[in-house]
Every structure is written in structure tokens, then in C-alpha cells.
Amino acid sequence: MIRAVPSRRALWLLALASPLLAVSVPVALLADLVIGGLILLDARRTRTPEVSRRAPEVASLGTFAEAVLTLANPAPRAVRVMLTDDIDARFERRGAHRGHEDWNAGVRLTLPPGGSVSRSYRIRPRARGFLELGDLHLRALGPLGLAWTRVTVPASDVVRVQPGIRDFLWDRKHSLRRPLHEMGPRRTRMRAEGTEFESLREYVKGDDPRTIDWKASARRRHFVVRNYQAERGQHIVLAIDAGRHMRETILDRERADIALAACMLLASRAQAYGDRLGVMVFDDRIRHLSAPRRVNLPRLAETLTGVETRLVEPNYPLAMATLGRTFSKRSLVVLFSDVIDETVSRALVRSLGRVARAHLPLAVTIGNPGLEEAAGQVVRADGDAFRRAAAAELAQARALALQAMRRSGILVVDVPPAQTLAATLDKYMEVKERGLL
């Protein structure tokens, strides 16, 4: 689509010609026709620059990515242009180099004769999913400066917005790369499986006497203990609740976004240990199911990007029954969800209890800090009293539900949302270290 738009100079000429109406109407009309003809001639003589965009294929939720627009001028003269493009409303856009650039209104540029110019801007997604950068809009000023030639270049670049991790790391000093043997004294659980022998070392005070290798100690005439490493090739299942509880906004994100960020971090560590990873996403139905396989982080990120929460009640019995049928080998089942009260979560507790017969369930519950704040707020009006009473009742019911889960032998991670990533990773490493799986 190409259209000619009169420039400010052309409007001034038309304004200056308007007094001719008082002298002679035909003369005034003739002047307007001449000016209009010049505007059209100027538009026809304008050679619009070629424009292209290089957009990021992947972006992380809450972090900035850069898009670059390049304009090439085929004309033998300098050309003034205005440039903008369409973006999804869920993007926040900022100029990359100049704070005063307003990309929504249009950025003004001057292209050298036969040359090219690039401009970039930063986009920060505020929602996870597949977000689009749309058509490019360009205006080029004609050689007489009387007309802007407007061009719309059809374009579509889809940015895959993955769950962000960086914003959720509550403690920057928390080491996310430390190996198991640096996590303090080993608490090895003596089982026929669950740990793998790594090496021998000399006994030091505080070592578990059960790890002493008596044959090696007899040969060396001093105590020698066995070092164990985390067993490799174990199965991990990420079970992600995509029901109504996970749609609640916490820390300016959906609760599901926090869970998916924890999934990515956990998968990264599982990849380092050589564990196999399976994924199940469910609400009232099973939305995604993949058997345990070697961790492929790009493929997992694409899967998690497409997770959509729905305002439906999650079907825990269906999800856990499907999990039991699909995953036969003993696995660490990491369920990301939340519990509201004992009645609502009773199905979850029963379902996870059945899963615990063949697998090791770990429930990562992501609460809402606003609930605790409301339960302890100062009452200044009748409405405050009702809100406080309701929040206190919900908080107590939630605590009872979590207690019931722990009594059923379910491992539970229940920390403030900002600590979810680090706490989930710590619990996974503890399971590996202690040989619980």
C-alpha cells in the first residue's frame, strides 16, 4: 500500500495561496491545482528505501532483547524518512541508543545517497508465549519536500518468549553450579541402589563410619572411606498444573511463569547429571505428555513456552493416573501447583499418595505472599476485618493441606515465590545426594 501525504511545506504553500480567493476564485483554484500537481509529482519522483528487520527468535520473559531495522537508500540523493513498525501490545519497547526516540510515533532518519542506515530498539516481553512483530511502516520525503510517500511493508516475525529465570533468582549469591560434594557433609543413605561409587579417600573426623571400606583400610593400614556420587540416568518427571490456581498473578507474573522458570533451571541441572526428563502438562485434561528422554533444553523451552493456563479446576486423579501408566520406572515426580484448602486439595493428596507407591513425589507449591499480608493486616474498617478473616482462614486451611501432604510421605517445597527456583534446585540436589530415588 502506497499513499502520498502532504508535508508541512505543502500545507504552508496551500495556506499562502488561500488569500487569492479574495482576489479571484479561478486564480486561487489554479494555484491550488498547481500545488496539488507538485505534491503528486514529488510523490511520484520519490524512490522509497528498502527496509528489513532482524528480530530475535527467542526472548526471555522480563528481559530485554534487540530488534534491528535496516534501511537501504537506492536514490542518488539523501532521503529523509520516518520509520516505525507494529508490535504485540505485550511487548514493552525502548530505544536502544537514544532515550528520546519514540518508535510508536515514528523515528526520523536521514539516509545518505546510495547508503544504508540501521536502527535498533529493545523489547521486553511481559507475557510468555509466541508474540509477533508485524508490518513495517515507512514514510519518505520527496525531493521537493512537498510529499511524504507512505509505504507499508508486510512482515511477520514471531518471537518465542520463554520462561525467564534471572528475575526469579532471589539470592544472587546462591550457587547454581556447585557440585554435590561441595554441599557439605554427605548424608549417604545406605541402599543397594541410588548412589554410585566414585573413589576412595582417607577417613577424616566426622565421616559416616558406614562408608569405611574395610578391605582397603586393611591394605593401607589406616581408615579409608568410599566416596559416592549421584546416580546418573535417573528419571525426572515435571508435572505442571495449568489450571486456574496457576493463573494467579504474583510478582507481576502468572504463578505458572515461576513454575516454568523453575522447570528450566531443574532441567539444566538434570542435563548435567545425565538424568532423563519427562514432562506432563495438565488442567482438566492432559495437554502435553512426553516420555523421559535425554534433556534437550531448546526443545523443552519451546514446549514450556506454549503452556497456557486455563480457568478450570485441575483434574489431579486423571493426571496422576496417566503418569502412573506412562512412567513405569521409579521417577522423581516434581509437581508444580498450589493448594488452597484441605477440601480442594484432598484429591491432590490422595492422587500423589498413590503415586508415592511407585515413584518419589515432590510437590512445589507456590503461594501468594499477599495472602499472609492480608491475614496480618491492621483492621481499620469493617471491610478490613472481613478481608483479614477470610485471608486467615485460607492461610490456615492451606497450612493444614500442606501438613496432610507431608504426612502422606510427599516431599514438599513451600517457600515465597521469589525463592522457588533456588529451593526447588536445592531439594532436587538433596534427593540426589541422599540417594532417595
Which grid coordinates belong to 129?
508465549
- Range of lowest pLDDT (20-34, 65-79, 232-246): 20-34
Q: 222 or 308, which is more confident?
A: 308
Domains of the chain: 1-162 (2.60.40.10), 167-176+232-434 (3.40.50.410), 195-230 (no CATH)
pLDDT of 264 > 80? The answer is: yes
Instruction: Report which of residues 194 and 375 the model is more confident about.
Output: 375
| pLDDT at position 197 | 56
Mean of the per-residue pLDDT values of the chain: 83
CB distance 169 to 422 below 8 Å: yes
Which range is least confidently modeled, 171-180, 237-246, 266-275, 384-393? 171-180
Task: Please give the DSSP secondary-structure letter assigned to residue 303.
Answer: H
Residue 171 has pLDDT above 80, yes or no: no
Cβ–Cβ under 8 Å, residues 162 and 60: yes
Q: Measure the CA–CA gap between 56 and 54, rounded to whole angstroms.
A: 7
**When comparing pLDDT for 164 and 311, which is higher?**
311
Kindly report which listed range (48-57, 369-378, 383-392, 417-426) carries the lowest average pLDDT score: 369-378
Average pLDDT over residues 154-164: 89
pTM of the model: 0.71
Q: Phi first, then psi: what are they for 278, rounded to 5°?
A: -115, 155
Residue with more model confidence, 165 or 357: 357
pLDDT at position 375 over 90: no
What integer pLDDT is reported at residue 131 of this predicted model? Answer: 92
Give yes or no for residue 433 having a pLDDT over 90.
no
More confident site: 376 or 14: 14
Q: State the SS3 of 315-353.
A: CHHHHHHHHHHHCCCCEEEEEEECCCCHHHHHHHHHHHH
DSSP reduced 3-state for 250: strand
139 vs 151: CA distance, rounded Å: 6
Grid cell digits, residue 339:
493448594
Measuring CA to CA, how many Å separate 165 from each of 61, 170, 172, 387? 8, 10, 12, 33
Q: What amino acid occupies position 26?
A: P
pLDDT in tens, 58-112: 888 888 999 999 999 988 889 999 999 999 999 999 887 655 678 877 888 999 9
Answer whether residue 191 shows pLDDT above 80.
no
211: confidence class by pLDDT, cuts 50, 70, 90: confident
The tens digit of pLDDT for each residue in 308-332 reads 999 998 999 999 999 989 998 999 9
| Beta-carbon contacts of residue 333 (< 8 Å; ≥ 6 apart) | 237, 239, 323, 327, 352, 355, 359, 360, 361, 362
Q: What is the pLDDT of residues 286-303, one digit of tens each?
A: 999 998 999 998 889 889
Q: Which residues pair with 240 in a beta bridge?
A: 281, 336
pLDDT at residue 232 tops 80: no
What's residue 279's pLDDT? 95
Q: Which of 99, 84, 171, 168 is nearest to 128 (CA)?
A: 168
Q: What is the CA radius of gyration of the chain?
A: 32
